[in-house]
Amino acid sequence: MSTSRDSLLEYRQQPLLELVHSEENYVQQLQLVRDTYMTVVSTQHFLTTTPSLLRSESCCSERSSTLSNRPSPETSLSPLQPIPTPPAELANRWRIIWGNWVQLTEWHSQFVEKLKRAVHEQPDDVPRLFLNSQSRLRQMYMKYCENYPKAVILVAPFKTYFEELRRAFFDKNDILSRLMQPIQRVTRYQLPMMEALKLTEQAGTDEAATWRAAVIVLKNLPNDVQLMLEVSAQILIFFILN
């Protein structure tokens, strides 16, 4: 019986490691946007070349999936492209586009380290980590979703500019895909946690109740986010029409 229990708990590491991997990837994407797109307005007057995403330390492990193939600066015969200058109307609202992106980046950069430590040292601390973070998670993502409809409306008239910027950064993702990433992320915590819960229950450990509580939180979070998106969009449409 003990052998079966130990085997189940060992197998439980697989979805937890997948959770860590996806969180690391998410943090890299957050950092990538923070270190490239978000700096365009504040630094463009001081930069003469594009800070290519390929050279960003925050996305080194994601080169193959995020960036198109490109010769290294040392071997390329052509100079790096200059950063396209945003229209004044867009530049003045640049911060609005990103909302609390920096806050998300800083928080998740710390959270992923706690998550890795829990998975490798004490897996039953993983659900407690989410339970202890539920208020913060909800607050941050409700704030991001409140701003999201405004961001989409702001970027819509400037599709050509953002396409030029995407090419300058050698980024495979367009601006709308980038803005959607935080919203997509909150929907993806529950699946590996549900799998881990299933194995925990099969193993018959005393921590099953804690895992169940964490899964409930992670199931409710996407619903809250979706509701905030709908409410924010309705309010924005009301003000536009009136």
Question: How sure is the predictor about 211, in pLDDT bands with cuts at 50, 70 and 90?
Answer: very high
Q: Determine the average pLDDT of the residues in 7-24.
A: 97
- Taking 50 as the threshold, does the pLDDT of residue 45 lie above it? no
Mean of the per-residue pLDDT values for the chain? 84
- Taking 70 as the threshold, does the pLDDT of residue 201 lie above it? yes
What confidence score (pLDDT) does residue 51 get?
A: 44
Distance of CA 90 to the CA centre of its chain: 24
Q: What is the CA radius of gyration of the chain?
A: 21
* DSSP for residue 58: G
What confidence score (pLDDT) does residue 227 get?
A: 86
What confidence score (pLDDT) does residue 213 get?
A: 98
197 vs 68, more confident: 197
pLDDT in tens, 111-139: 999 999 999 999 999 999 999 999 999 99
What confidence score (pLDDT) does residue 240 get?
A: 63
What confidence score (pLDDT) does residue 231 get?
A: 78
**Which of 15-19, 61-65, 142-146, 215-219 comes out lowest in average pLDDT?**
61-65
pTM over 0.95: no
pLDDT in tens, 222-235: 999 888 878 777 77
The token pair at 13 is: 């590491």
N- to C-terminal Cα separation, the chain:
68
Do residues 104 and 30 lie in contact, with contact meaning Cβ atoms separated by under 8 Å?
A: yes
Rounded Cα distance between 48 and 53, Å, is 16
pLDDT in tens, 160-198: 999 999 999 999 999 999 999 999 999 999 999 999 999
- Taking 80 as the threshold, does the pLDDT of residue 70 lie above it? no
What confidence score (pLDDT) does residue 239 get?
A: 55
Helix or strand (DSSP H, E) at 224: helix 208-241
Q: What is the CATH number of domain 5-41+83-241?
A: 1.20.900.10
Distance of CA 196 to the CA centre of its chain: 22
pLDDT in tens, 78-94: 235 688 999 999 999 99
Rounded Cα distance between 162 and 138, Å, is 30
7 vs 59, more confident: 7
- Taking 90 as the threshold, does the pLDDT of residue 17 lie above it? yes
Instruction: Please write down the long-range contacts of 200-203, taking CB distance under 8 Å and 24 or more positions apart.
Output: 200/8, 200/9, 200/12, 202/8, 203/4, 203/5, 203/8, 203/9, 203/12
Cα–Cα distances (Å) from 8 to 14, 20, 216, in that order, read 10, 19, 22
Domain ranges for the chain, please list them. 5-41+83-241
What confidence score (pLDDT) does residue 165 get?
A: 94
What confidence score (pLDDT) does residue 90 get?
A: 95
